[in-house]
Structure 1
C-alpha cells in the first residue's frame, strides 16, 4: 500500500485517492472538437460507455468537470453489490411484476460479474475481498423480517441466502452489541474503487477514446445535425451524447434535467490500521461487507490492511456547517456501534453525493424529445456494478446492438420531475426525520 504524508492525506479526495499512485492528468479541452459521441462524466458509467464505443470504432470523448474519479465513483464505500434502487424486491414485484423483477435482479448480478471479470482480465489488484454482503438486524424484531426476506428471495428468485442468529454472528466475527442477527446474500464483493476506475480510464485511452479533465459542460444546445456542448475554453460537437454525471450532473445540462434528480450526501470515515488485539476486543474480524437494517443505513467493512471503513446516509445540505455536523454524527454512530474502538482515530473522512430519483429507480435510455441524447444515471448509492454495466448498455443503444426493450423495465422509465423542485431538499429533510424516528 502506498504511504503518503499527513498533508497528502488531507489533500486527497478520499482514502482511495490517497492509497493509489498519482493520478494521470488528462488535459483540458481547449478550442473546438468534433466527435461522434460525447460523454459527460468520467465515472463508472461514463467511462464504460466510452470504452464500449471506442472499441467499436466510434470517435468518443469524455468531458469531466474535474478528474477521473472526482465524483461518487471515487468517493463511495467500495461495495460492488446488488442495488441501484431504493425499492425493495417486494415493491419491484408490485410495480413491474415478478418476471421483470427477476430480470432486474439478474441484471444486477451481471453487473457484479462484469466488474470481477474486468479486474481479472486487466490484471488489476483492487484489494478485493468479501464473498457477498450481510445485512445486520439493529433491533431484535428486525431479525424476523430478515428471515421472511430470505424465504421470499429463495421462493421467488432462487437466491440461497443464510440467516444468522446472534450466536452465529459472534462466532463468525460480526461483533457488535447492537446486532441481533443477520442475512447474508452470496453476491458481490468489496474493492478499492479507485484502482478499478483508473484501470477503466486506461482502457478508454488505449482504445482511442479521449478524456478531457477540468472541462465542465456549461451549456448544451442543438447545432444543425449535432449537439453542441460548451466548456470554459471551447466546445464539442457530437451526434450522440451520454449523460453520466449522476449526483454531480448540472441541472441545466440539458434543461430537461432540472428537478429530476436529488443529490444527497453520504459520509465515510476510514480508521487507522488496527492490531489484531484491537479487532478482537470488539469481536469484529470478518471481512464481509456489511450494512445495518436501518432505513438511513450505516455501511461498513474491515479492509485487508486492517483499517475499518464506516459510512452513513442522511446528509442533505452541502454547506460547511451541515457537512461538519454530518461527519460528527457519523463518528458518534461509529463509537456507539463499535464501543471498543472509541479511541481508534478516523484517519480519513470524506463525503460523496448519492443520486436519488423520484422514481426510485435508475434510468438508462434516450431522453424523450432529444434525439441522440442518452442517460445512464440514478444508482441510489449502489453504483459500482450497476453503473458499469449500464454505461455499456447506453453505448449499445447508440450502436444499435441493444434495444430499449432488452433492458429491464425498471431501467426504462425516464426520470419524473420532483414536485416543486426548488423545495425538494426541504421535504426530504422531513422524510429523513421520519425515517430516523422509524429506525429507533
Structure 2
C-alpha cells in the first residue's frame, strides 16, 4: 500500500506521454537524465530553443518525487528571505528569491500554453500556525516576504478558520501567487510538450555508464547509446547507479493518504476556496482537496518503515482533529515519496564535468523550483552562460552523516505520530 502504484495521482492521471525504450545509438545537442520536473522542464526549454534533446528515465515519467508530490505550486523555498541571503550572499540570494517568487506564474503559464490537463487551481496557499510559536514565526516570514514585494497576507485566527474551515490554527500566511495541481499530470504534460516540440523521450532506460569521448558525453543503456554535446543530470532523490555523480543529500520521506470524494456539504466546509494548506509543525502536516473533492492529508514519514503503524494511526486522529466532520471518512489510498534535503535547504547545482550540470536538493519544494532550475540550466548550457543559473554551480557538494540523519528524521516522525495517536 505504500508504493507508487497506490498513489492517487497515478490512479487518477489523465496526461500521457509518448515514450519508448532506447534501443539504438543517437547523437544530440543535450542529454537529460531523469524524467521529473527538472529534467522535463530542461528538455522542453532546450527543444523549444532549437536543440536536439534525448531524455532518459530509468522508470516512467514522474515515477520519483514528481509523481508523489503534494501538488503545491508554491513561491520560494521553505527558508525566509534573510536566511537565503545569509547562505548565498545578497546578490545571489535576491536573484534566487526573485526567480522562485515568480515560479508559480511560470508553472501556470506552462500549463496554459501546453494545455496540460493537471487540474490547476490558482487560488493561493495557506501556511497555518499550529501554535503561538508558529504564529510568531509566520509574522517574521510575513515581514521578510513583504519587504521583497510579495503580495502575501497575514491572517488572524478567525480569518484562518473562515478560510480553512478548521479551528485548529492561530493564524496563517496567505500567498495568492501559489496554487494546487495534479503533480503527476503536470510532469507528464511537460514531457508531452517536449515530445511535441521534437524531444526524444526514453523510459525504462536507466543509464548504466557515463563517460567522455573527446568533447562528447557518452551515455550507455542496456540497449542503446546517446552521444551528447551537453548533459543535465536531474535525478534528485531517485538517483540510480552512476556512483561518480550521485547527489549528496539527506533522504526524508513524506507520506499522504486520500479519502473518497466527499459529499457536497463536506466539501463546502473545507478549504472552500480551493487553497492548499500546511502547518508550522516541526513534523509538518499538509492538507488539500483534489478536483473531485477527495481530502488529502500528509506528513513526514515512511510507510515502508517499521513505524508505519504509528503514521497510519496518527493520520486518522489528525484528520479528525482538523475536521471532526471527517472522522468517519475512509482513507482509501496511501503512498509516500523520498525528498532530497540539503543541510541549508537550498537546492544545489554541481558542475559534474565539461558542459554538464546536475541539480538536486529541492527539500520538498519541487514543482516551482524544479521547473525554474531545469529551464535555467538548459539555457545556461546552450548559451554557454553560467550567469543564467539560478544559483552558482559548485565543483562538488557533500553531506555528512546522511544515514544517521535520515534515521533521526524518521524516528522522530514515528515517535511524534505514535504519541499523538494515543493521546
| Same topology, TM > 0.5 | yes
Change (3 A) 1:239 1:90: same
Q: Which runs of 5+ in 1 are unaligned?
A: 1-6
- Where 1:104 maps in the other structure, the secondary structure is helix
Residue in structure 2 matched with residue 4 of structure 1 by the alignment: none
Residue 404 of structure 1: CA displacement?
2.2
In the alignment, the residues of structure 2 paired with residue 25 and residue 124 of structure 1 have an alpha-carbon distance, to the nearest angstrom, of 15
In the alignment, the residues of structure 1 paired with residue 308 and residue 223 of structure 2 have an alpha-carbon distance, to the nearest angstrom, of 32
Is 1:404 equivalent to 2:397 in the alignment?
no
Residue in structure 1 matched with residue 263 of structure 2 by the alignment: 275
Kept in 2, the 8 Å contact 1:359–1:415? The answer is no
In the alignment, the residues of structure 2 paired with residue 414 and residue 178 of structure 1 have an alpha-carbon distance, to the nearest angstrom, of 46
Kept in 2, the 8 Å contact 1:215–1:232? The answer is yes
Aligned positions of 1:228-239 closer than 5 A: 228-239=218-229
Residue in structure 2 matched with residue 391 of structure 1 by the alignment: 374
In the alignment, the residues of structure 2 paired with residue 283 and residue 45 of structure 1 have an alpha-carbon distance, to the nearest angstrom, of 32
- Where 2:282 maps in the other structure, the secondary structure is coil
Question: Residue 286 of structure 2 is aligned with which of 293, 296, 299?
Answer: 299
Is 1:208 equivalent to 2:198 in the alignment?
yes
Residue in structure 1 matched with residue 154 of structure 2 by the alignment: 163
Residue in structure 2 matched with residue 70 of structure 1 by the alignment: 63
Kept in 1, the 8 Å contact 2:252–2:410? The answer is no
Question: Residue 426 of structure 1 is aligned with which of 386, 403, 407?
Answer: 407
Question: Residue 349 of structure 1 is aligned with which of 316, 334, 345?
Answer: 334
Residue in structure 2 matched with residue 196 of structure 1 by the alignment: 186
When the two structures are superposed, what TM-score results if normalisation uses the length of structure 1?
A: 0.85
- Where 2:102 maps in the other structure, the secondary structure is helix
Kept in 2, the 8 Å contact 1:358–1:417? The answer is no
Change (3 A) 1:19 1:56: same
Cα RMSD (Å): 3.0
Kept in 1, the 8 Å contact 2:231–2:355? The answer is yes
In the alignment, the residues of structure 2 paired with residue 422 and residue 293 of structure 1 have an alpha-carbon distance, to the nearest angstrom, of 25
Q: Which runs of 5+ in 2 are unaligned?
A: none
In the alignment, the residues of structure 2 paired with residue 109 and residue 60 of structure 1 have an alpha-carbon distance, to the nearest angstrom, of 28
When the two structures are superposed, what TM-score results if normalisation uses the length of structure 2?
A: 0.88
Change (3 A) 1:61 1:327: farther
Residue 146 of structure 1: CA displacement?
2.1
Residue in structure 1 matched with residue 356 of structure 2 by the alignment: 373
Is 1:330 equivalent to 2:319 in the alignment?
no
Kept in 1, the 8 Å contact 2:314–2:417? The answer is no
Residue 381 of structure 1: CA displacement?
0.8
Change (3 A) 1:82 1:436: farther
Kept in 2, the 8 Å contact 1:267–1:330? The answer is no
Change (3 A) 1:272 1:88: same
In the alignment, the residues of structure 1 paired with residue 255 and residue 4 of structure 2 have an alpha-carbon distance, to the nearest angstrom, of 17
Residue 296 of structure 1: CA displacement?
2.2
Residue in structure 2 matched with residue 223 of structure 1 by the alignment: 213
In the alignment, the residues of structure 2 paired with residue 292 and residue 421 of structure 1 have an alpha-carbon distance, to the nearest angstrom, of 26
Residue 88 of structure 1: CA displacement?
3.0
Question: Residue 255 of structure 1 is aligned with which of 229, 237, 244?
Answer: 244
- Where 2:261 maps in the other structure, the secondary structure is coil
Aligned positions of 1:83-102 closer than 5 A: 83-84=76-77, 86-102=78-94
Change (3 A) 1:268 1:428: closer
Deviations 1:296-331 (A, max 9, x none): 21111123322112121244xx74545565445434
In the alignment, the residues of structure 2 paired with residue 137 and residue 22 of structure 1 have an alpha-carbon distance, to the nearest angstrom, of 35
